[in-house]
Amino acid sequence: MKTNMQADSDRLEAETTAKAHRFGHWAATPTRHSPWEDALGILAGVALTAVGIAILNSLGFLTSGMAGFAFVIHYLTGWNFGLVFFVLNLPFYLLAIGRMGRAFTVKTACAVLCLSVFTAVSPSLLSFAYVQPLTGAVLGGLMIGFGLLALFRHRSSVGGVGIVAVYCQDRFGWRAGLTQLGVDILVFLSAFAAVSPRAVLYSLLGALVLNLFLAINHRTDRYLAT
């Protein structure tokens, strides 16, 4: 019985692989997403991330990663946030294309572009009359965590620290969430120069929720599709 089941499994895998070859990489396999799946997954991840950012921004809190550094620079200098965010991410694209491959880099660039558009139009589409600060910090962190998880599982990120986090997990086995948490500590230490200590503490709570969520849920031994 076991032999027959193994034979059936091998035959199914062979048929799936043949179908994938027939349609190029447009057909999904048990270990590969199709481009349509990647596109929908990335859009969903970006949308969730944008909502989380909107929640935190409505409270005057910071986000994590390169977006956090961009907000600190924006608050201190008045420079355009989108431009600062783009410039900060440039060195990481070089790392991505050199170490993570062209597909990862292209998908990440698309995710960053979509996130820039979503965050630009979100004030006209989404507003919050009242959000209790503690609740907002936790929910904002969770929403961004869900968004980044979707992006990571489709071999993408929103640039910056996400690229480094995915690379370190693939290269050294470090948890992506813990890598990002380490960078976020630097972000929030610098944030004391730009916003109130109260806002920094709530923002740090949101980042802690975000990164612990990723550390628990984003593991290559539990999700093998690319």
pLDDT band at residue 19 under the 50/70/90 scheme:
very low
Q: For the chain, give every domain's residue range.
A: 38-217
pLDDT band at residue 23 under the 50/70/90 scheme:
very low
Question: Model's pTM, two decimal places?
Answer: 0.75
Mean pLDDT, residues 16-32:
50
Distance CA 144, CA 43 (A): 13
Burial 84-106 (b: 16+ CB within 10 A, else e): bbbebbeebbeebbeebeeebbe
Give Cα 147 distance to the centre of its chain: 6
pLDDT score of 217: 82
